[in-house]
Amino acid sequence: MPRAQQWVQYFLSHRHVTMELINKIDEAHYDFKPTPTSMTAKQLATHMVFSFYNFANVAKHGDPALFQPKMEDPETNLAKLTETYTEKTKQLLESMSDEEFNRTIDLTAIFGVQMSAKQLLQMAMDHEIHHKGQLFVYVREMGHTDLPLFVKRG
Amino acid sequence: MPRAQQWVQYFLSHRHVTMELINKIDEAHYDFKPTPTSMTAKQLATHMVFSFYNFANVAKHGDPALFQPKMEDPETNLAKLTETYTEKTKQLLESMSDEEFNRTIDLTAIFGVQMSAKQLLQMAMDHEIHHKGQLFVYVREMGHTDLPLFVKRG
C-alpha cells in the first residue's frame, strides 16, 4: 500500500472513533468539564480537529510558517466541524508524496526541534489518541456507556 | 540512531509521563473511578503496564503463544509495579534486532490479523497513549492540577 494510503488508513482508524464520541455530545453538554481546571468538551473536541489539520498542513507543505497558533471557524456544531476538518485533513494526507513524508521541517520555533514530516504526523496521531482517551472519560461522564473500542480497524 | 534505541526513546517519552501520573495516585485513591462503569485507577494503571510488557514480549520473540490474556503480580504498590515492568519492557525493546522488528507475527487468534513486530509495538504505543489520556482525567479528578505535558522529549 502506498505510504499516503497507509497514513490515511491509520488516521481514520482513530478519527472515526473520535467522530463517534463527538457525535454523542449533545449541545447541552458542550460546556461540560470534569473538573474546574479541565478543558470543556467543546474546547477539547475543537482542539483535536484543528490541531491535526494544522499539523497535516505543515507536514504537507514542509513549511513551519503555516502553523496557526490560534485557529477559528464559524461552525458551532461540533459534529459538523469534525466532519469538515476530517475531510480536509484526509485530503492533505492522501495528496502527500514519499518525498514530502521524508522531508525535514525546521520546527525549532514551535517545538524546539527539526523533524521529518512523518515524525510530525506521528506526533499528530499521538496527540489525537491522547485527547481521544480523555474524551472517552468525558463522554462516559455524560452518561454514555455503549462506547466503541479505542481504534477501528479495517 | 539504531532502530531499538529509537523505540526505547519513543516508549520512555510516554512511559515517563505515565509513571509521573501513577506516582501521584495515593493508596486511598486506588479504587477511584470517575463513573460506575469505568475501570478503577488501579485497574487502569495495571492494565497499562501489563499490556505493554505483554505486547513487547510477543514482539521480541515473534511468538503469539506468549500473549498472556490475564497477567498477575503480587506487588500491590502501583508505583513499584510500574517501575518494575517499565524496566522489563525497556530491556525487551533494547534487545531487539532489525530482523525482529520486521518479522511478521501471526496474531489472527488475538487480533484477527497478521502484522509485523513494529506494527504490534505501534499498537502498544497507541494503547499506552490512549489510556494515559484517561489517566490524566482521573488524576485531575483526584485533585492534582500540576500535571506534565502528554509527552516528555529529550
- The 3-class secondary structure across chain A, one letter per residue, is CCHHHHHHHHHHHHHHHHHHHHHCCCHHHCCCCCCCCCCCHHHHHHHHHHHHHHHHHHHHHCCHHHCCCCCCCCCCCHHHHHHHHHHHHHHHHHCCCHHHHHCEEEEHHHHCEEEEHHHHHHHHHHHHHHHHHHHHHHHHHCCCCCCCCCCCCC
> How many CA atoms lie within 13 Å of B85's alpha carbon, on the beta-carbon side?
27
Give me the pLDDT at residue A154, please.
66
- Cβ pair B137:A14 closer than 8 A: no
Mutation for testing the A interface, residue in B130, B131, B141, B144 having most A CBs under 10 Å? B130
Give me the pLDDT at residue A116, please.
97
User: What is the arithmetic mean of pLDDT over A54-81?
Assistant: 96
- Cβ pair B34:A35 closer than 8 A: no
Give the burial class of B32: count Cβ atoms within 10 A of its Cβ; 0-12 exposed, 13-18 middle, 19 or more buried: middle
pLDDT along chain B (154 residues), means of 10: 95 98 98 98 98 98 94 97 98 98 95 94 98 98 98 85
Size of interface A-B (CB pairs under 8 A): 70
Residues in chain B: 154
Tell me how close the Cα of A63 comes to any Cα of chain B, in angstroms. Answer: 22
- Cβ pair B137:A140 closer than 8 A: no
A35 touches B141 (CB < 8 A): yes
| Phi, psi of B44, deg, nearest 5 | -65, -50
- Cβ pair A35:B133 closer than 8 A: no
Rounded CA-CA distance A85/A49 in Å is 6
Give me the pLDDT at residue A110, please.
86
Tell me how close the Cα of A119 comes to any Cα of chain B, in angstroms. Answer: 11
User: What is the arithmetic mean of pLDDT over A48-60?
Assistant: 98
Identify the bridge partners of residue A113 per DSSP, sorted by sequence position: A107
- Cβ pair B34:A141 closer than 8 A: yes
3-state SS assignment for residue B115: strand
Give me the pLDDT at residue B1, please.
84
C-alpha cell at A142: 455524560
Does residue A78 register a pLDDT over 90?
yes
Model's pTM, two decimal places? 0.97
Predicted ipTM of the assembly: 0.97
User: Which residues contact residue A26 at a Cβ distance below 8 angstroms, ignoring those fewer than 6 apart?
Assistant: none
- Cβ pair B133:A129 closer than 8 A: yes
A24 touches A61 (CB < 8 A): no
